[in-house]
Amino acid sequence: MGIQEILLGIAAYGIGSLPFGVWVAKAKGVSILERGSGNPGATNVYRECGAAAGLTVFLLDVLKGLGPALAGRFLLDHELAPLILGLLAVAGHSLSPFLKFKGGKGVSTGLGVLIGSTPWVALAAFLVFLVSMLVWRFVSVSSLLAALAVFVFGYVFGDPVGAVVGYGLLFVFVLVRHRSNLQRLRNGTERKFSFRRSSSTDQPENQDPENGPPQHTS
């Protein structure tokens, strides 16, 4: 491993760690870590700050994964480089030093990684996500099914070794990050996604029926 690979790895992690959800919500006057689920991801920002803010965070988080993956594709001579750098960006997103090594669940950033490394896998996984959302409207279920689809389609469209190692790790990571959602699904308390923004009259300011009490970073 040369100095270029090390520097790109550090840069990928650093880019991934940028907490766009916190910053976009702050621009709207909302401390997103203390609202809803306390998660700085696009779904919580959407619910607490509106569709425009949520979409902005989604796109920025996707770009955090896309940039490092493209850097790996064009700057490094290894077929797994886009996936490796992308996974470092996902790690930065979920373990951000800006948030005391906490963060989002990595789904949007993971999508960006797939777009930059294996576009066909990204498209297949995104279609699985959309179909699941139309049928069940659970973001957590759709994210997990999409992550599983990444592993399956990664084996079909991509490198088998990369699928077993890289995509397998990505699926396990997403599964672990959604363990609280799985518990709520078992308890029947996971809330379905709605295009209507929740209001303060629907729930307490600092609690989301889907995600429970805020997950403070302190």
Residue 132: pLDDT band (50, 70, 90) is very high
Lowest mean pLDDT of 34-43, 130-139, 147-156, 205-214, name the range. 205-214
pLDDT tens digits, residue range 92-103? Answer: 999 999 999 999
| pTM listed for this prediction | 0.84
Token pair 């509106």 in the structure block, residue: 50
| Percentage of residues in the chain having pLDDT higher than 70 | 86
Report helix angle 168-177 to 81-94, nearest 10. 10
Q: How far is 142 from 139, CA to CA, in rounded Å?
A: 5
Residue 37: pLDDT band (50, 70, 90) is confident
pLDDT tens digits, residue range 142-184? Answer: 999 999 999 888 888 766 676 677 888 888 989 999 998 899 8
Burial 19-31 (b: 16+ CB within 10 A, else e): bbbbebbeeeebe
pLDDT(120) > 80: yes
User: Backbone phi, then psi, for 208, in 5-degree steps?
Assistant: -110, 125
What mean pLDDT comes out for the span 125-137?
94
Q: How far is 189 from 211, CA to CA, in rounded Å?
A: 9
Residue 159 pLDDT: 67
Residue 205: pLDDT band (50, 70, 90) is very low
